[in-house]
Chain A
Amino acid sequence: MTSTDAVNQSDVIAELNRPLTPISSGQTPRLAPIVVLAKKTASTDGISANVPGYNETNPAALSPLGRRAVASIGTISANASFAGDKALTVQMQQLEVRTQRELKGLADQVARLTRLIEARVPDTPSAHIASSVLQVSQAALGSAEDDLGRAHILNLIADDQASFSGDDDQIVEAIHDGTPQVRAAAARALAAIRGKEAVLVLRAALDREENRFVATFIRSAIEAAEA
């Protein structure tokens, strides 16, 4: 039995399919079901757990709810993968993540998944888990419907808890036009994504910034970008 086999995939699926905490008491979460794809990268005998609303091989078979979510939101996905012959890729795809609380729910699930895998693959040091991060697409960032949600996503990117794919113009724009929370988080995120290339933009933003607390964040972002 390989270490990969030691992972009880049904447990992983059960874990990922666990419903998120309701948004408020008595209210049904408006999240579409989580889609889980767990497969061994070395072979094709992957398994998938498709839940109502999504069909991996035939996206057209999405339920009306699923189609709406995909069309309007894009995706946020999370990956946990092992290196070398222990390769196991677990992807989860969360549809319709809009608010800070929903995003936190997703992040919590990723953390649980990581711990689960670590516990079930005893010979694999944590360091060998390549990543357990949210991958935030440009579309997903744009879909955050409130400023706190956007700021939260941007802070995840800045803190290396999420990677960003797509055009970062939206983030640059947020540094200038967002709420204080969004401006601060966007500055940090841009420094994380662009590194030294972000310095000029951030310096310009600092020159214009009137809120001294936001300026604090921009200043520290500049330091990090220059480092």
Chain B
Amino acid sequence: MTIYLRRFDQLELLLGLSEAQLNDPPLWLIKSFLPDARENGTISLFEVADRAEAQVIAAAFGMLRPKLKDRVGFLSCDADLLQQTGLKIAPTPGDLHHEFADGRHRDLHLATAADARTVAVAFAQGDPIQVEGKIVEQAAHTSIRLNQFACVTLAGRPETAGRHLLGFVRENIAVLQGVPAM
């Protein structure tokens, strides 16, 4: 069975959803399917066959974060259900520097917020997948052994490196000034 994954780390929010909201999703869920300014009308999905493959995608995300052992969450949707929406799904290379994960990357084209709502309803029907930190770590080790990762560090990703640098400066300047950050 093929499923599509959408990265979503706050799966706890789903625990508060009522049955009615599965067909009439709240705004926060719809917003998680809205492209941002850089995404040019598309959102990133990953096409996988099962939970094990989702763990590999999670490992790819994990390696690009400061804390590998943080859990990774995905919303999931049955491929047939998503294809029934008529929205265009195109394979495009991902940018996780992980051969398998980047090969499974898909762009979903959305024209309007109504499209995002349609997709949110479809994903609300699927079973989310959470990958605990311990599993992320194990999967990352496996990926390294299988030579799945390109040799790219955080510093090789300008936007990521910039975020870390800003965080570092913010925290340390605040400490030096005696004004705790947060």
Please report A residues at the B interface, Cβ cutoff 8 Å: 11, 14-15, 18, 108, 111-112, 115-116, 119, 151, 155, 159-160, 180-181, 184-185, 188, 191, 211-217, 219-221, 223-224, 227
Contact = CB atoms under 8 A, between A and B. Distances in A.
A152 B181 CA distance: 22
B134 A227 contact: yes
B12 A220 contact: no
B127 A212 contact: yes
B182 A112 contact: yes
A224 B12 contact: no
Interface string B126-143: 011111111100100000
B128 A108 contact: no
- Top 8 nearest A-B pairs (CB, nearest first) are A224-B132, A220-B130, A180-B15, A112-B180, A213-B14, A119-B175, A224-B134, A216-B128
Contacts of B117: none
Contacts of A115: 171-172, 175, 181
A112 B69 contact: no
B16 A216 contact: no
Interface string B42-77: 000000000000000000000000000111000000
Given A112-B182, A216-B128, A223 B135 contact: yes
A contacts with B: majority SS: helix
B86 interface: no
A184 B71 CA distance: 14
B176 interface: yes
Given A112-B181, A119-B172, A220 B131 contact: yes
Contacts of B180: 15, 18, 112, 116
Interface residues of B, number: 27
B16 A180 contact: yes
B11 interface: yes
B155 interface: no
7 contacts: A15-B180, A112-B175, A188-B132, A212-B127, A216-B14, A216-B130, A227-B135
Contacts of A221: 132
Nearest to A111: B182
A184 B134 contact: no
A227 B138 contact: yes
B178 interface: yes
B16 A181 contact: yes
A220 B71 CA distance: 10
Contacts of B12: 151, 155, 181, 184-185
A159 B70 CA distance: 7
A181 B12 CA distance: 7
B17 interface: yes
Contact of B15 (A14, A108, A213, A223): A213
Given A108-B182, A213-B128, A216-B128, A224 B135 contact: yes
Contacts of A188: 132
